[in-house]
A and B are shown apart, each in its own frame.
Chain A
């Protein structure tokens, strides 16, 4: 009881704090427009930068970039504030309302609408214009993810599509050298692997990466997660059922073991127990691959069209209470500089979003494993833009989990999830003011 109590109180305390802060805060200073022409010539300012890059190569890379930026700009000092993504989600909304948020931050694509709906982000239309960005500067669909109700709130920074990771040594045991690209060749490879006693693709019922695989397949079969204005779940369409059935069939046909645990499939790929794993581009920097004869490829086309899931990260300008326009202008300069100098970002296993940086041939020369992921970008789908969508998305994972565990048929699982998701979407409209 004591602990429950304390936890409940913890939540309550956080909320209480929020109430107190918003009480004084009101909702002023949310619409200030800022111009940034790529250079900032105002008075000297310190700006704070919040982001969640706490793992991999980022903790050494980000400070290096910031140091370089600071040394090149006399009138701007960027303060680096890395913290866990979860902490950012918990703290940033309240901090912004209290006027203590960062001057610039990085968010994931599926969070943008939730923040924008809460009026926590500055309208970035003028900043974007000032910096000279347009949708054409980024892969299709990424720039649009920063658009909420006709206003641009974000500038793309990186994209992270799913791909097919192949253990070539295992694959060669079945006498196959060519990496499959479509349903026919993929099934043939799985069948050949089964013939030599190897289960070729282990399918799991967790966000990483069963959900990403399902969503890729759903789009490949011509479906979509939600309808156009995100008022209704459509992942239980025929396409969705086809996608999920294809996944459960992997188990039924003996191409995958049942009951794969979280991350069990990537472990199996690394351990040489399986040949294929649908996983994110971030795995290309996984040091466990170093001793492996492996390759990455675009995900095979199982359905009727090419499609693949991708996530994205974006720069945003928080609408702090009493936000200093000079600081936002300086932040815009920082964003432009970072995007222009983002070639090294590939080191972290993310693709720089800026086309001119990503398409520079030296990038692929330095990081050849990224090529297949870059090839996928023209048909990649990004996360749904709608406030509070994460709660509805969580239901998709539950459905996949239930179907793969044999608790429900794909149709049942998706129907149940869609019914619940419709309720959530309706609730979100009320909650975030539709």
Chain B
């Protein structure tokens, strides 16, 4: 199985490659990719240099151009795809019909991967993208169980890539407008979810209140660790109950499921976190490298939880939808 690792900056790219990434994924410094944060991402030259470095060390580079192209400005997304192809990258990860169509017609030499933002989760949908654009791999939504992934892999003839570590989207990616509803900025259009400039932490007598765009997302007592107010991980009131209605403030760790994912026919394992620093990426990639190598040799990956202790948000982890009881 291929280990696909995040590279938010040239330095993280080198760190991920050195730590054992089979492939790194990155994006340009603009709205064409789904991690459009200040201080992150690559210029044209940085990408070309990153590709050279990765190839010299036996790793691949996948370029995410996975937001949906803006009306009247589709050329910006097409040009990003052209730059990725010219830089010698190994694949483009895209979701928009227009971007996929452009790459399929004009850059036949580069592999196309279907981004998780396209939310393709059935043999019919994946088959459609394969027939229309020749996609070679699909990144699976984080709402499928292991059983569903196994059934899917039996029914399709493109590779699948599954998230194993980092953020956990509980909504079907690419079809969630919660962030734009509250803040005006969305993953699909702007490449951001619950953007930091809309976040406020207000010190109140009872503790700290985290708000997003003025909506109270969570409240913490004094001394309690304060989390980031991602919308779907917030605490809300409904039906007379107060709860983390959509999802607890947990992050994904499917390190213990690597052999299950392998058995389900998954080709690539994806670590999330292009916004993370060099140290984090090195440590997580190194741990997963060991675990994947162990599984490939027929062993199990139980040890990974110990290797990764302390690396996930709020230190709470879940295997998410891979376990059917999650739903």
Tell whether A pairs with B.
no
